[in-house]
């Protein structure tokens, strides 16, 4: 079950869409919603940069960072009330967003973030990499909400990318509370022959049965295409007007573990519906 949802509160242009998605899930599952805002820098880092040796000497700059985070949390609380969330709280963390969220994600069932748009001014590299970082290093699944996401049904129809991998298994397990509520789960296999040893005699049949035993309504869809896996999944999601996509988060080898694999990167950059990732 989903009982604690952590949502990033940064005051950016995409915040409204992810707050509405997070509130919708909180109301659906009677879950507690935690809004997390950060100062963007830890006290130790600030002290090293400024030479300050005590909190009382931090000066106006650090206090301004705190005040900005508190103001964002005040707006979050107003939005949570307006959206009818019964149980919520606001947390201010004096650190970078990626570290603050990693710490708090240990005590949540789901982390809700946003992806940017190509039309947005380019944010700092660390901000752009936040969904990537959380997907690969976080303790919990991540729901990445597109900035133009409206109040569409979530999950509605769910498209699940299934390739037999451990990452896909982790994503499906994390998404089960949503999948059993979906109108229909489209279990999508793209060119399954490429990983036939992971699928058995009838690709998708065993996973469809597994999901059905949990109460999900499942339809196996096999796509044979020359398009990329990401394009095939996004095309299917568009055609069936999906409200949710689910897939494993794939990374490169350990020496480049901070980089996402091609399919995950493609979906993060271009998916038009909420995307649930687990590694």
Average pLDDT, the chain: 86
CATH number of 157-278: 3.40.50.620
- In this prediction, residues 206-224 reach a mean pLDDT of 96
Work out the burial of residue 245: count CB atoms within 10 Å of its CB; fewer than 13 is exposed, 13-18 middle, 19 or more buried: buried
CA dist 76 and 78 (Å) reads: 5
Which tokens hold the place of 158?
A: 């769910």
**Alpha-carbon torsion, ordered 222, 227, 229, 235, to 10 deg:** -70
**Do the bridges between strand 142-145 and strand 275-278 make them parallel or antiparallel, or are there none, so unpaired?**
antiparallel
On the question of pLDDT at 63 being above 90, the answer is no
**Residue of 147, 129, 134, 162 lying closest to 245 (CA atoms):** 162
Highest CATH level, class, for 4-145:
alpha beta
Looking at the chain, list the stretches that DSSP marks H as alpha helix, in order from N- to C-terminal side: 15-29, 43-50, 59-82, 97-105, 125-128, 130-137, 166-179, 205-213, 229-239, 262-270
Q: Rounded to whole angstroms, how far apart are CA atoms 208 and 203?
A: 10
Residue 198 carries which DSSP code?
G
Give CA–CA dist 188/163, Å, rounded.
8
pLDDT recorded at residue 138 = 87
| Per-residue pLDDT, 221 | 95
Q: Which residue has the higher pLDDT, 194 or 227?
A: 227
The β-bridge partners of 37 are 92
Q: What are the tokens at 92?
A: 């201010």
CB 160 within 8 A of CB 185: yes
Please choose, from the candidates 226, 5, 15, 232, the residue with its C-alpha nearest in 3D space to the C-alpha of residue 120: 15
Alpha-carbon separation of residue 69 from 13, 114, 180, 260 (angstroms)? 15, 18, 37, 29
**pTM for this structure?**
0.87
CA distance 186 to 208: 9
Residue 121: exposure state from Cβ atoms within 10 A (0-12, 13-18, ≥19):
exposed
**pLDDT greater at residue 79 or residue 56:** 79
157-278 shares the fold of 4-145? yes
Percent of the chain with pLDDT over 90: 62
- For the stretch 87-121, pLDDT in tens is 999 999 999 998 999 999 999 999 999 985 443 44
Instruction: Count Cβ atoms below 10 Å from residue 213 Cβ, excluding itself.
Output: 8
Res 201 pLDDT > 80: no
For the chain, domain boundaries: 4-145, 157-278
Would you place residue 256 in the very low, low, confident or very high pLDDT band (cuts 50, 70, 90)?
Answer: very low
- What's the confidence (pLDDT) of residue 255? 38
């Amino acid at each position: 079950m989903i009982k604690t949802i952590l949502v990033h509160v940064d005051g950016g242009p995409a915040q409204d869409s992810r707050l509405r998605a997070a509130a919708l899930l909180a109301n659906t599952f009677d879950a507690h919603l935690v809004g997390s805002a950060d100062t963007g820098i830890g006290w130790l880092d600030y002290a090293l940069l400024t030479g300050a040796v005590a909190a009382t000497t931090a000066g106006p700059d650090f206090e301004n960072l705190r005040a900005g985070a508190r103001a964002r949390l005040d707006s979050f609380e107003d939005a949570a009330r307006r959206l009818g969330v019964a149980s919520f709280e606001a947390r201010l963390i004096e650190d970078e967003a990626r570290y603050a969220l990693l710490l708090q994600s240990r005590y949540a069932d789901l982390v809700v973030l946003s992806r940017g748009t190509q039309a947005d001014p380019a944010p700092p590299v660390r901000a752009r990499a936040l969904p990537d970082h959380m997907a690969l290093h976080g303790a919990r699944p991540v729901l990445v909400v597109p900035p133009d996401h409206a109040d569409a049904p979530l999950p509605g129809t769910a498209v699940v990318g299934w390739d037999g991998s451990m990452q896909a298994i982790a994503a499906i397990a994390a998404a089960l509370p949503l999948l059993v509520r979906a109108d229909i789960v489209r279990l999508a296999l793209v060119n399954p022959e490429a990983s036939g040893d992971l699928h058995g005699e009838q690709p998708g049949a065993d996973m469809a049965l597994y999901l059905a035993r949990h109460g999900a309504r499942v339809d196996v869809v096999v796509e044979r295409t020359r398009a990329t896996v990401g394009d095939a999944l996004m095309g299917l999601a568009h055609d069936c007007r999906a409200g949710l996509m689910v897939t494993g988060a794939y990374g490169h080898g350990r020496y480049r573990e901070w980089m996402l694999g091609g399919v995950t990167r493609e979906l993060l950059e271009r998916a038009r519906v909420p995307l649930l990732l687990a590694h």
